[in-house]
Structure 1
Amino acid sequence: MVNIRKNLVSQSIINTVTSGTGNGRKWITIHETDNENTTANADAHGRLQAGGNSRSASWHYTVDEKEAVQSFNHNIKCWAAGDGSGNGNANSIHIEICVNKDGNYKKAVENAAALAKKIMEAENIPLDRVVQHNHWSGKNCPSKIRSGKAGVTWAGFKDILKEVTTVSKPENPSTSNNYYTSNPGKIKVIKTCWQYKGTNFVEGNRVQKVAAGPIEYTVKKIEHTKAGTPRLLMKNGTYMTTNKKYVKKA
Structure 2
Amino acid sequence: MSVKINTDFISNQNSYDNQVVKYICVHNTDNYNHGANAKCHAKAQHDGNFSGYSAHVYVDDTGAYQATPYSRGAWHIGVNYGGRLFGIANNRNTIGIEVCVQAGYNYEKAFLNAVDVCKQLMKKYNVDADHVIQHYDACAKNCPSAIRAHKDWARFKKAIQGAENVATTPAAPQKLYRVRKTWANAASQIGAYAYLKNAKLACPAGYSVFDESGKVIYKNDLQTEGMQATELKNLTPAELIKKVGPLFTKDQLQTGILASVSMAQFILESGWGKSKLTQNANNAFGMKKNLSGNTWPGSKWDGVKTIPMKTGEQTKDGKSYSIVADFRVYDCLQCSIGDHSAYLAGAKNGNKLRYEGLKGCKDYKKAATIIKNGGYATDVNYVSQLCRIIEQYKLTDYDVKAGGTGTDSKTATTTTTKKKTFQVKVTANDLRIRRGPGTNYAFTGRYTGKGKFTIVEERNGWGRLKSGAGWICLTVNCVTRV
Which of 89, 98, 101 pairs up with 1:99?
101
Paired with 2:66 and 2:26, the residues of 1 have a C-alpha distance of: 14
Aligned pairs for 1:29-178 within 5 A: 29-35=25-31, 39-83=35-79, 86=87, 87-148=89-150, 153-163=152-162
**Mapped contact 2:42–2:65 kept (Cα < 8 A):** yes
Give the deviation of 1:34 after TM superposition: 2.5
Q: Is the 8 A contact 2:11 2:68 kept in 1?
A: no
CA-to-aligned-CA distance 1:175-232 (integer Å, 9 cap, x gap): xxxxxxxxxxxxxxxxxxxxxxxxx796756xxxxxxxxxxxxxxxxxxxxxxxxxxx
How many residues align structurally? 163
Q: Distance in 1 between matches of 2:118 and 2:78?
A: 20
State yes or no: 1:5 paired with 2:1. Answer: no
Could you tell me which runs of 5 or more consecutive residues in structure 2 were left unpaired when the two chains were aligned.
81-85, 165-426, 431-448, 451-482
Q: Name the TM-score, length of structure 1 as normaliser.
A: 0.59
Q: Contact 2:57–2:68 at 8 Å: present in 1 too?
A: yes
> Root-mean-square deviation (CA), in Å?
2.6
Following TM superposition, by how much is the alpha carbon of 1:53 offset from its aligned partner in structure 2, in angstroms? 2.0
CA contact (8 A) 1:126 1:202 kept: no
**Shift of residue 4, structure 1, vs aligned partner:** 0.9
User: What is the one-letter code of the residue matched to 1:132?
Assistant: Q
CA distance in 2, matches of 1:36, 1:60: 16
- 1:24-45 deviations in Å (ceiling 9; x for gaps): 1000000001338694211110
Structure 1 unmatched runs, 5+:
166-199, 206-250
Give the whole-Å Cα distance in 1 for the aligned partners of 2:65 and 2:120. 14
Counterpart check, 1:21 vs 2:23: no
TM-aligned CA deviation for residue 83 of structure 1: 4.9
Work out which structure has the larger RCO, using CA pairs closer than 8 Å and 6 or more positions apart in sequence. 1
- Contact residue 136 and residue 144 of structure 2 kept, 8 A: yes
Q: Residues 201 and 131 of structure 1: is their aligned pair in 2 closer, same or farther, counting only changes over 3 Å?
A: closer
* Identity score, percent: 36
CA distance in 2, matches of 1:164, 1:7: 32
Preserved contact between residue 9 and residue 43 of structure 2 (Cα < 8 Å): no
* Larger Rg, first or second structure (1 or 2): 2
Give secondary structure in 2 for the equivalent of 1:146. helix
Q: Output the CA distance in 2 between the equivalents of 1:136 and 1:95.
A: 14
TM-score (structure 2 length as normaliser): 0.32
Contact 1:125–1:202 under 8 Å retained in 2: no
- Alpha-carbon deviations, 1:57-111, whole Å to 9, x = none? 1110000112110011111110000158933211000000011123212111101
Q: Equivalents in 2 of 1:164, 1:66: separation in Å?
A: 23
Q: Structure 1: how far apart are the matches of 2:48 and 2:40?
A: 12
